[in-house]
Structure 1
Amino acid sequence: MTMKDLVLNGFNKFTITGNSRRKVVFNMSEFQVAYIPVGVPTFHIESAQAEFEKSKELISGLTAHGVYPEKMLLSIEDLCAYLDTINPSLIILQNITFANSAYPSEVLKRFSCPVLLWTLREPVIDGGRLRLNSLTGAYSAGNSLMSFRDGNFEYIFGGTDEQKVISKINATIQAAKLKTELGSLKLASVGHTPQGFGFGRALDIDMLKVFGVTLESIEARELINKAIGFTDEECESFLQETKEHTVGLDATPEKNRKDFARLYKAYKDYVTENKIGALSSRCWPDFFTAFGTPVCTVLAMLNDLGIPASCEADAYGALSMYMGTQLTGAPVFFGDPVSLDEEENTITFWHCGTAACSLANPDTGAQVGVHPNRKLGPTMEFGCKPCEKVTVFRIGRKADGAFRFFLLSGEALDKPKQFSGTSIVVKTEAPSDEIVCRSVKEGWEPHFIVIYGDVKEQLEVLAHMLGIEVCKY
């Protein structure tokens, strides 16, 4: 694996502009990664300078948001002068040589952002001079970090050409980016969770305190009432947009097609006007009984626009989707674990039909059908495309209310639709029956996210930054 394979230079995100959809680079102008190489001038400066140059090259290859000192910071005076010029979202604190605890303490008393402590390997072991003594300096820094941060920091040991170092630095940068972006996320809760689905219900104060996310609430009937008031002409472009991205929409009765387009416009207008970055939506029974057309395909279209949208009003499901989408720049799958195959070592995740059209297996395309229980459409009907590496993820809560992250690695197999609706079959690394047994006994919620890509390390680092427990399966 090369460094290029590990790099995610900025988040890719879809943005909504009128009725068009286009992919743009996400604006991270406020995000800053500060490289802080500290040391003293009494060690081998030529070796330290070489590591300084290589370190800057590595970090700049992983992010466009790095800031770097003009020279190594070999005195407290030089360190303070540099710290006066930065406003970091992430600090990469490196012992370029040994440095006592006064150096990290100066950094920590000024900034509260996440810290990655990086220790360099000795360049030469030949029985002669200790050239860097970076590792001893790391112990001084670690001691300060324990005092200031109660141990909440990341750490890596190794040189600039080591894959574990590249991977760790990259994952930490991506996690810090995501943590920064959570602070400006507005997540909408459209309606309430159905009875018995309270696990997805969120309190605005919890969202803000733990994740930095602003939670906005709106009643489902408000969007339904807006949808009812639109004319066919106002909604025609929304209908045409959906036809371009789906297969078989014309088989849906005309009234349901037009009502879907009205509902899609209502949701899309609401998202655009209120700068919503993700949403959870009530679905049944209201959209069947009060409106006569499901919201499933509306959510599918929003997911393809880069607005993660969960159904059954699962706010923490929507937040999980947002994290996966931001880390990969692509839609994620939201669904229930519904089937287990011990021989194949797989778990099937399924839901009624809200998956993004771009997740459909290219052999079938994003087919349109009807809801499996209510027999009303349009909903999405397909098996998802395969992927060699996926991450199954969920933001969950324990019985005492504490948050935790569910993390599981696997492969999405090339499988047809398993049940009416949308489905994805994940081959797991650990025995699938043990995963199911353990996760049921440990009380996990029934909605999970399947992310197209291996982002397990990034999410683990993010959890550490947020002070959240990680549960690996």
Structure 2
Amino acid sequence: MTKFQVAYVPVGVPTFHLESAQKEFEKSIDLLNTITDAAIVPDKMLLSIQDLTNFLDTIEPSLIILQNITFANAAYASEVLKRFSCPVLLWTLREPVIDGGRLRLNSLTGAYSAGNALAAFRDGNFEYIFGAPQEERTKKTISACIRAAWLKNELKNLRIASVGHTPQGFGFGRAMDADMQKVFGATLESIEVRELIDMAKGYTDDECSEYLDKMTKCTVGLDKTPDNNRKDFARLCKAYKEYVDENNIGALSSRCWPDFFTAFGTPVCGVLAMLNDMGVAASCEADTYGALSMYMGMKLSEQAVFFGDPVSLDESENTITFWHCGTAACSIAREDTGATIGVHPNRKIGPVMDFGCKAADKVTVFRVGQKADGSFRFFVTTGSALDKPKQFCGTSIVVRTDKNSYDIVNQSVKDGWEPHFVVIYGDCSDELKVLGHMLEIEVCEY
């Protein structure tokens, strides 16, 4: 596991007003410590190249926050850049006093020197904030950068599994292990569906009873599912959970139809829902980039996310309804209904989840997608989840978008986006946009 570390690098020279600089130094450290417990800070301001190199010798950063505590020439930034390839946030301090007297810090001129070096080393791939430590915009930007860098680091530790192949016509979700490693840093492994089905068939009822008990406790109406389907669900859940645990899987995409209906007789939908509640991002229809999108959303929101298709547009409410057959986590069900159990809308076999999802003041709709040339891009839009009952058989969530819903649907279809999206509880759009920049992936805001 790669440990996450945020290195605060305050550079300057001793010829400016050091009393003012010291105050900004202390306030900056206080701010960072309120945002993260992963901050590594020097004992003093780094006012010479020697001070800088001594501090750089002690760190292994996942993110560098390079701050001009006073003016510093480009040699300081160059020293940092030649050592480390991690993301950099360049932080310029506001001049503390403008009174016709001495220029106290001259941080902004230093930022131009550092920015020029960053552009030369990184071709413009760095983050930037201008502002004092006490400003809300400063805190928001630094927080977003830290969380994005943390997620980038988590992706390096991710093992994602592809369970079976995508159905015909669903190739948009198929991932290559080399692409996954090169672009996101994650490790992709594959397993055939029949291997997990064979594992499931080998378990006894007693060996799987704990999974049936968990499903019973967190759902409503499981008793209406035929006994053999309940038991087969538990067998399948044990097979998936043991595979996930033994292989340290953080996200998986699973083939669902037709195999689990024809070769096993019980859908995998409920199993994927349970995995999502266990903190394992699990998508259906073998959509591996959908599972990756879910993983990112779950990490940022610290809760389960919704995975599904845009199926309905209502211009009068400015809403888009997202739906899928029944893989939503129990924890995002409406409180008035709970996580009700039903049957698959096409195959009429259960158990699958069958409910409307809970409301939220803020949600983010997100997707890791690919363009026709194979390059990656992020879909990002924001809105709120309305207090709506189940819209169709299966699970659904109705999102009132912040921008015009008709325009979002019209443009995203024309832009060739894949039909699976993730609805994340909370607004994490800033973090996703920064992450896209850090990964050198195009971010498409709708």
TM-score when normalising by structure 2 = 0.99
* One of 362, 377, 400 as aligned partner of 2:335: 362
1:286 matched to 2:259? The reply is yes
Alpha-carbon distance in 1 for matches of 2:167, 2:31: 49
* One of 238, 242, 245 as aligned partner of 1:265: 238
Identity over aligned pairs, percent: 73
Residue of structure 1 in register with 2:271 after alignment: 298
* One of 21, 44, 65 as aligned partner of 2:17: 44
Counterpart AA for 2:417: W
Q: CA deviation at 1:237?
A: 1.0
Alpha-carbon distance in 2 for matches of 1:417, 1:163: 39
Alpha-carbon distance in 1 for matches of 2:119, 2:186: 27
Alpha-carbon distance in 2 for matches of 1:401, 1:262: 38
Residue of structure 2 in register with 1:95 after alignment: 68
* One of 249, 257, 278 as aligned partner of 1:276: 249
Q: RMSD across aligned C-alpha pairs, in angstroms?
A: 0.7
Alpha-carbon distance in 2 for matches of 1:234, 1:82: 55
Counterpart AA for 2:65: I
1:159 matched to 2:113? The reply is no
Counterpart AA for 1:397: Q
Q: CA deviation at 1:162?
A: 1.0
User: Following TM superposition, where does structure 1 have runs of at least 4 consecutive aligned residues deviating by more than 2 angstroms?
Assistant: none
1:229 matched to 2:197? The reply is no
Counterpart AA for 1:348: T
TM alignment of 1:38-437, pairs within 5 A: 38-437=11-410
Q: CA deviation at 1:29?
A: 7.3
Q: Secondary structure at the match of 1:362?
A: coil
Alpha-carbon distance in 2 for matches of 1:424, 1:216: 31
Alpha-carbon distance in 2 for matches of 1:150, 1:326: 29
Counterpart AA for 1:203: M
Counterpart AA for 1:260: F
Residue of structure 2 in register with 1:449 after alignment: 422
Residue of structure 1 in register with 2:6 after alignment: 33
Contact 2:364-2:425 within 8 A present in 1 as well = yes
Q: Secondary structure at the match of 1:290?
A: helix
Q: CA deviation at 1:141?
A: 0.1
Q: CA deviation at 1:69?
A: 0.5
TM-score when normalising by structure 1 = 0.94
Q: Secondary structure at the match of 2:424?
A: strand
Contact 2:2-2:156 within 8 A present in 1 as well = no
Residue of structure 2 in register with 1:23 after alignment: none
Alpha-carbon distance in 1 for matches of 2:390, 2:185: 37
Q: CA deviation at 1:89?
A: 0.5
Deviation by residue 1:231-279 (Cα, 9 ceiling, x = unmatched):
1111111100110111110100001000000000000010011110000
Deviation by residue 1:317-375 (Cα, 9 ceiling, x = unmatched):
00000000011110000000000000000000000000000000001000000000000
Alpha-carbon distance in 1 for matches of 2:83, 2:99: 39
Residue of structure 2 in register with 1:21 after alignment: none
Q: Secondary structure at the match of 1:405?
A: strand
Alpha-carbon distance in 2 for matches of 1:400, 1:87: 35
Counterpart AA for 2:42: P
Alpha-carbon distance in 2 for matches of 1:30, 1:409: 31
Q: Secondary structure at the match of 1:382?
A: coil
Deviation by residue 1:280-326 (Cα, 9 ceiling, x = unmatched):
00000000000000000000000000000000000000000000001
Alpha-carbon distance in 1 for matches of 2:381, 2:373: 23
Q: CA deviation at 1:202?
A: 0.2
Q: Secondary structure at the match of 1:383?
A: coil
Q: CA deviation at 1:161?
A: 1.2
Runs of 5+ unmatched residues, structure 1: 1-27
Q: Secondary structure at the match of 1:103?
A: helix
Counterpart AA for 2:80: V
Q: Secondary structure at the match of 1:470?
A: strand
Q: CA deviation at 1:45?
A: 0.5
Q: Secondary structure at the match of 1:48?
A: helix
Deviation by residue 1:28-81 (Cα, 9 ceiling, x = unmatched):
871100000000011110000000000000001100011000000001111111
Alpha-carbon distance in 1 for matches of 2:215, 2:244: 17
Counterpart AA for 1:191: G
Q: How many residue pairs were aligned?
A: 446
Alpha-carbon distance in 2 for matches of 1:236, 1:129: 75
Contact 2:2-2:153 within 8 A present in 1 as well = no
